Amino acid sequence: MLAIVCPGQGSQTPGMLAPWLDVAGVPGRVAAFSEASGLDLRSHGVDSDAEAIRDTAVAQPLIVAMSLIALRAILDGQDAAQVAGATAGHSVGELAAAAVAGVLTDEDAVSLVTVRASLMAQAAAAEPTGMSAVVGGDPEQVLAAIAQAGLWPANVNGGGQVVAAGSLEGLAALAAEPPARARVIPLQVAGAFHTPFMQSALDGFAPVAAARPADDPRMVLLSDADGAAYGDLPGEHGRFGAAADVLDRIAQQIVAPVRWDLCQEALLRVGVTGLLELAPGGVLTGLARRTLPGVETVAVKSPTDIQAARDLIARHAAPLSQETPS
């Protein structure tokens, strides 16, 4: 069974949109996404430098747009629910995953993420904060060191990687005294995402998300909060969950840790055998190769990967909308 996963912030690179503009239909989608976001995504995806697209208000809409551009180019008119059984997104990638699952239209996903990005950028500007990856070390010791420095484990990614977030002083203290057998690597992000520092962004985003038209998921959609499939949450909902729950959890994730480790465990539980990471791909398939033994992966980075993606789909397509594992 195939899963489609969507990368998060930090996966963007300068010029990443340029090769896609030669793919049929892409220029029109870029124009539609630019209108939905109020940003010139074509210019940012082709001409803007690394510093410009590091800006949260630009990076998040650009990444979600890139994922959905790749998805539609690969599927070439096919319905995602007819080839994939599950989907998930890392942090901002949850908005793209919601579109993959049919909860949001592509344009609504880009529009909504633009609101999220703007509010998170404002929250980040209110107080100097940051994030650092902690790679290696004993997991319990890593979490203890993060807490000791007054920080939060903003991303628990699996494969020996945790991202710490919080004050710059706390990050400096963690780097000065890292956990045993671990490296602390500063990340080029603008603030302490997925921590209480983002509360003002949550306050602004939650009512906007709740008011957005949405449909119930049409495949297994996993939540970053705990790896749970929305169809397994308590309460009345469709087979794969309720749209209102998806939008509420996506909003709450602004201040809550990303548990990608639990998402990967859930992918194994539901029987995933192939993992397709949409553009700008690479990070999530890298984690999968270390933590999902036996799962075949393809990362989509440019149009040259479209055929490999289609081949992966041909080998692994078995959507849960048609088959449910025992």
The residues carrying an active-site annotation are 91, 194
The answer to whether 320 and 229 are in contact (CB under 8 A) is: no
The answer to whether 67 and 45 are in contact (CB under 8 A) is: no
**280 three-state secondary structure:** coil
Alpha-carbon gap, residue 155 to 249, rounded angstroms: 16
* Strands across the sheet containing 86-89: 220-221, 86-89, 2-6, 274-277, 296-299
Helix (H) or strand (E) holding 304: none
Alpha-carbon gap, residue 36 to 104, rounded angstroms: 13
Tokens at 234, concatenated: 């308590």
Residues 6+ apart with CB under 8 A from 190: 54, 55, 56, 121, 124, 125, 130
Burial status of residue 296 (CB atoms within 10 A of its CB: 0-12, 13-18, 19 or more): middle
The answer to whether 185 and 135 are in contact (CB under 8 A) is: yes
The answer to whether 162 and 146 are in contact (CB under 8 A) is: yes
DSSP summary character for residue 59: H
Residues belonging to the chain: 326
